[in-house]
C-alpha cells in the first residue's frame, strides 16, 4: 500500500539525517547509575534532579505506609465522576499553602496541563504570545486553542513589548506564556521583566516551571520564588515528573481561574484520574523537597563548575542552570559524541531537531544533586577527545 511505502521512506530519511530515534533497553536504575543495553553508565540524562526517585529509604517507607492503607491502585474514573480521591484535595491544599496562593489544581501530566489550559482560557478574540523556544507541549496547546498566536524571539523582551504594543486594544485578552528554565538550552527567563510587561499591558502571564521546581528557590518553588514573583504570576505550572520524582503536574492560580478550568478544560475533564498510590507519593516528595535547599545549592554549584570547565576547553555551552547543553550543530556529531561518552561510561543522550532548531543538535547533560565533581570531572577531556 502507498501509505506503508510513504512512512517507510520517511523513516529511511530520518535515519539518513541522523534523526532516527529508538527506545533504549533500560534494565536497572541504582542511584547515580543506570544499566542500558547491559552496560552500567553514570546517568546524566535524568530529570530526577534531587535524586528522590532513587532514595531507597523514602521508597521503602512509602511502600510500607501505602500497604497499610486501603487505597486502590487505580482511580478507575475521571475526577468529575468518582476519581476525586481525598489525596487529591490534600495535595492541592498543600500546593496552595506552599505557594501562598488561593488554589491549586493537579493534572495527569505536564503535557495534559499545557494542551488544556490555553484552549480553556482563550478563543479567537484573544492573542497568545509565546517564547520561541517554549516546550512542544505549549506549542501544541496554542495550536489546539482557537486563539491566534505569535512567537517572540527567545528571551527578547523588547520584541515581546513590540508585539504587546501592536496588539493593545485589538484583542479581548492577551496571554504571555514562557518556560522559566528552558528545557533544551538551560537558560532562564527574566520573570521580573515579564511581570512588569504583563502589568503594563494588562496581560495574563503563564509560567511553566517544569525544570525550575525543586531546583530553584529556598523551598523549591522554582525561579518564580527566586525572583520573588510567586504572587504576581497569574498561573504557575509545575510537574511532579522531574525533580519531584513522581507523575503528574499542577498549576497554582486564583480560585476563580481554578473553578473555570474545572468546568472547561478538556484534558482535565475527559481523562481518568491519577491513582491514589501516585498522589500519596507526590504529596510525600513535595514535602521532602521543600527542605532540600542545601541540595539545590550543591546542584547549581556543581553545574556552574562543569559549565566553566567546558567553556575553558573551548566548547559552545549554553545556559545558566543544572541543564548543560554542549552544542555540536550537526546531528551526526551529537550522535558520535554520545557514543564516545557512553564508551567512557556516561549516559548523555543526543538531542536533535525537532526537539531543537535546525543545526542546533547537542549533547544535553542533566545534573543531579546526588552527583559529586569526581563523578563528572573527566567529561570535558572525553568530549574534547
List pLDDT tens digits, range 331-365. Answer: 999 999 999 999 999 999 999 999 899 999 999 99
CA distance 116 to 356: 23
pLDDT computed for residue 151 by the predictor:
98
Say how many C-beta atoms besides its own lie within 10 A of residue 151's C-beta: 18
Determine which of 91-105, 169-183, 202-216, 347-361 has the lowest per-residue pLDDT on average.
347-361
Residue with cell 478563543: 123
Mean pLDDT of 134-149: 97
User: Does the structural domain 23-50+293-384 have CATH classification 3.90.1150.10?
Assistant: yes
**Reported confidence tier of residue 58, pLDDT bands at 50, 70, 90:** very high
Q: Are 242 and 51 contacting, i.e. CB atoms less than 8 angstroms apart?
A: no
**Reported confidence tier of residue 375, pLDDT bands at 50, 70, 90:** very high
Q: Are 152 and 129 contacting, i.e. CB atoms less than 8 angstroms apart?
A: yes
Q: Are 152 and 163 contacting, i.e. CB atoms less than 8 angstroms apart?
A: yes
The more confidently predicted of residues 111 and 73 is 111
CA distance 84 to 269: 12
CA distance 128 to 133: 14
| Best CA proximity match to 24, nearest among 382, 362, 342, 366 | 342
Q: Are 280 and 30 contacting, i.e. CB atoms less than 8 angstroms apart?
A: no
- Phi/psi at 351 (5° precision): -120, 125
Domain boundaries 74-289, CATH class = alpha beta
Question: Do β-strands 174-179 and 346-347 pair in parallel, antiparallel, or remain unpaired?
Answer: unpaired
Cell, residue 315: 566548547
pLDDT computed for residue 188 by the predictor:
98
What sign does the dihedral 187-191-193-194 (CA atoms) show?
positive
Determine which of 63-72, 223-232, 296-305 has the lowest per-residue pLDDT on average.
63-72
pLDDT computed for residue 24 by the predictor:
86
The most confident of the ranges 16-30, 49-63, 292-306 is: 292-306
Axis crossing angle, helix 86-99 with helix 276-289, rounded to the nearest 10:
20
CA distance 238 to 218: 16
pLDDT computed for residue 241 by the predictor:
97
Strand-pair partners of 87: none
Cell, residue 385: 577527545
The more confidently predicted of residues 24 and 382 is 382
Q: Are 15 and 335 contacting, i.e. CB atoms less than 8 angstroms apart?
A: no
Mean pLDDT of 46-58: 94
Mean pLDDT of 204-209: 98
Q: Is pTM beyond 0.85 here?
A: yes
**Radius of gyration of the chain, Cα coordinates, nearest whole angstrom:** 21
pLDDT computed for residue 320 by the predictor:
95
DSSP structural state of residue 326: E
Question: Strand runs (DSSP E) across the chain, as ranges?
Answer: 26-30, 33-36, 39-43, 103-107, 127-131, 149-152, 174-179, 204-208, 235-239, 249-253, 323-329, 346-347, 350-351, 361-366
Mean pLDDT, rounded, of the chain = 95
pLDDT tens digits, residue range 276-306? 999 999 999 999 999 999 999 999 999 999 9
Percentage with pLDDT > 70 across the chain:
100
Mean pLDDT of 14-28: 89
Whether 1 has a pLDDT exceeding 80, the answer reads yes
Domain ranges of the chain: 23-50+293-384, 74-289
Mean pLDDT of 231-238: 98
Whether 70 has a pLDDT exceeding 80, the answer reads no
Q: Are 311 and 326 contacting, i.e. CB atoms less than 8 angstroms apart?
A: no
Residues 6+ apart with CB under 8 A from 123: 145, 146, 147
Amino acid at each position: 500500500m502507498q501509505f506503508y511505502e510513504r512512512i517507510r521512506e520517511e523513516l529511511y530519511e530520518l535515519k539518513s539525517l541522523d534523526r532516527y530515534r529508538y527506545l533504549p533497553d533500560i534494565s536497572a536504575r541504582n542511584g547515580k547509575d543506570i544499566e542500558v543495553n547491559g552496560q552500567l553508565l553514570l546517568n546524566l540524562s535524568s530529570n530526577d534532579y534531587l535524586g528522590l526517585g532513587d532514595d531507597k529509604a523514602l521508597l521503602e517507607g512509602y511502600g510500607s505506609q501505602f500497604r497499610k492503607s486501603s487505597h486502590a491502585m487505580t482511580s478507575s474514573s475521571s475526577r468529575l465522576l468518582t476519581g476525586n480521591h481525598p489525596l487529591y484535595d490534600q495535595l492541592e491544599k498543600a500546593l496552595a499553602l506552599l505557594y501562598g496562593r488561593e488554589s491549586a489544581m493537579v493534572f495527569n501530566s505536564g503535557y495534559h496541563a499545557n494542551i488544556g489550559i490555553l484552549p480553556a482560557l482563550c478563543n479567537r478574540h484573544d492573542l497568545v504570545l509565546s517564547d520561541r523556544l517554549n516546550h512542544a507541549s505549549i506549542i501544541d496547546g496554542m495550536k489546539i486553542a482557537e486563539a491566534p498566536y505569535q512567537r517572540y524571539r527567545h528571551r527578547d523582551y523588547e520584541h515581546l513589548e513590540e508585539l504587546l504594543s501592536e496588539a493593545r486594544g485589538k484583542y479581548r485578552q492577551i496571554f504571555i506564556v514562557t518556560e522559566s528554565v528552558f528545557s533544551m538550552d538551560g537558560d532562564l527567563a527574566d520573570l521580573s521583566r515579564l511581570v512588569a510587561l504583563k502589568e503594563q499591558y494588562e496581560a495574563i502571564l503563564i509560567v511553566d516551571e517544569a525544570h525550575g521546581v525543586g531546583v530553584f528557590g529556598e523551598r523549591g518553588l522554582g525561579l518564580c520564588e527566586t525572583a520573588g514573583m510567586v504572587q504576581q504570576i497569574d498561573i504557575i505550572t509545575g510537574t511532579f515528573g522531574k525533580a519531584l520524582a513522581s507523575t503528574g503536574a499542577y498549576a497554582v492560580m486564583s480560585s476563580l481561574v481554578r473553578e473555570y478550568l474545572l468546568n472547561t478544560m478538556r484534558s482535565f475533564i475527559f481523562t481518568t484520574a491519577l491513582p491514589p498510590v501516585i498522589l500519596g507519593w507526590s504529596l510525600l516528595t513535595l514535602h521532602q523537597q521543600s527542605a532540600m535547599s542545601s541540595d539545590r545549592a550543591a546542584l547549581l554549584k556543581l553545574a556552574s563548575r562543569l559549565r566553566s570547565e567546558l567553556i575553558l576547553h573551548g566548547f559552545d555551552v549554553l545556559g545558566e542552570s543544572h541543564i548543560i547543553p554542549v552544542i555540536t550543530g550537526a546531528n551526526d556529531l551529537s550522535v558520535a559524541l554520545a557514543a564516545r561518552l557512553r564508551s567512557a561510561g556516561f549516559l548523555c543522550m543526543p538531542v536533535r531537531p525537532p526537539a531543537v532548531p535546525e543545526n542546533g543538535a547537542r549533547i544535553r547533560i542533566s545534573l543531579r544533586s546526588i552527583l559529586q565533581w569526581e563523578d563528572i570531572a573527566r567529561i570535558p577531556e572525553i568530549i574534547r577527545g
